[in-house]
Chain A
Amino acid sequence: MAINPAPGMGVRGPNIASADVQLPAVRDYEQVDREISATLGFTKKWFLGLAIAVFFMLVGASAWTYQIYWGLGQAGYEPPVMWGVYIITFVFWVGIGHAGTLISAILYLFRAGFRTSIYRAAEAMTVFAVMTAGLFPIIHIGRPWKFFWLIPYPNWRLLWPNFKSPLVWDVFAISTYLTISTTFLFIGLIPDIAVLRDKETNPTRKRILGILSLGWRNSDREWRHFAKAYLFLAAFSTPLVLSVHSVVSFDFAMALTPGWHASIFPPYFVAGAIFSGFAMVWTIVIPMRKWFKLEHYITLNHLDATAKVVLFTSMVVGCAYMIEFFVAWYSGIRAEQEFFWNRVFGQWYWAAWIMLLCNMVLPMSLWSQKLRRNPTWLFILSIFINLGMWYERFVIVVPSLSHEFEPWQWGSYTPSWIDMSFLVGSFGWFFMWFLLFVKQLPVMAIAELKEIIAPRAKYAHAHHGVDTAGHHGAYDPHTPGEHD
Chain B
Amino acid sequence: MQGVLGAFHELDTTVAVIKELKQKKLGDVTVYSPTIRHEIDDAIDAPVSVVRRFTLVGGLLGVSFGYWIAIWSSTYWPLVTGGKAIASWIPYTIIGFEVMVLVGALSTVAGMFINSRIPRLHTTTGYDARFSGAYFGVFIACSPDKAPQAEEMLRRHGAQEVRREH
Contact = CB atoms under 8 A, between A and B. Distances in A.
A144 interface: no
Interface string B1-16: 0000000011111011
B23 interface: no
Contact of A187 (B11, B112, B158): B112
A194 B130 CA distance: 11
B132 A195 contact: yes
Given A163-B70, A218-B33, A191 B132 contact: yes
B70 to A, nearest CB: 4
Interface stretch (A72-80, A349-357, A459-467): A459-467
A180 B73 contact: no
Contacts of A224: 41, 46, 49
Contacts of B30: 219-221
Contact of A219 (B31, B106, B123): B31
Interface string B113-138: 10111111111100101111110000
Given A215-B123, A465-B39, A160 B73 contact: yes
A456 B51 contact: no
Nearest to A467: B39
A188 B158 CA distance: 32
Interface in A92-121: none
Contacts of B9: 456
Contacts of A194: 132
Q: Is the interface of A mostly helix, strand, loop or mixed?
A: helix
A458 interface: yes
**Max count, chain A CB within 10 A of own CB: residue among B37, B122, B158:** B37
Contact of B98 (A173, A223, A466): A173
Contacts of A374: none
Given A152-B69, A229-B108, A451-B35, A458 B51 contact: no
A322 interface: no
**Max count, chain A CB within 10 A of own CB: residue among B11, B39, B111:** B11
Interface residues of B, number: 72
B77 A159 contact: yes
Q: Is the interface of B mostly helix, strand, loop or mixed?
A: helix
Nearest to B111: A229
B11 A457 contact: yes
Nearest to B122: A215
B101 A447 contact: no
A158 B108 CA distance: 33
Interface string B90-120: 0110110111011011101101110111111
B10 A456 contact: yes
A163 B108 CA distance: 27
Interface of B: 9-13, 15-16, 30-44, 46, 48-49, 51-52, 55, 69-70, 73-74, 76-77, 81, 84, 88, 91-92, 94-95, 97-99, 101-102, 104-106, 108-109, 111-113, 115-124, 127, 129-134, 158
Question: Top 8 A-B pairs ranked by shortest CB distance?
Answer: A215-B120, A160-B73, A229-B112, A198-B129, A228-B49, A29-B134, A464-B12, A450-B35
21 contacts: A33-B133, A158-B77, A160-B76, A163-B74, A164-B81, A179-B102, A183-B109, A214-B118, A217-B120, A218-B131, A229-B111, A229-B112, A232-B104, A236-B104, A243-B98, A450-B35, A451-B37, A455-B10, A455-B37, A456-B9, A464-B12
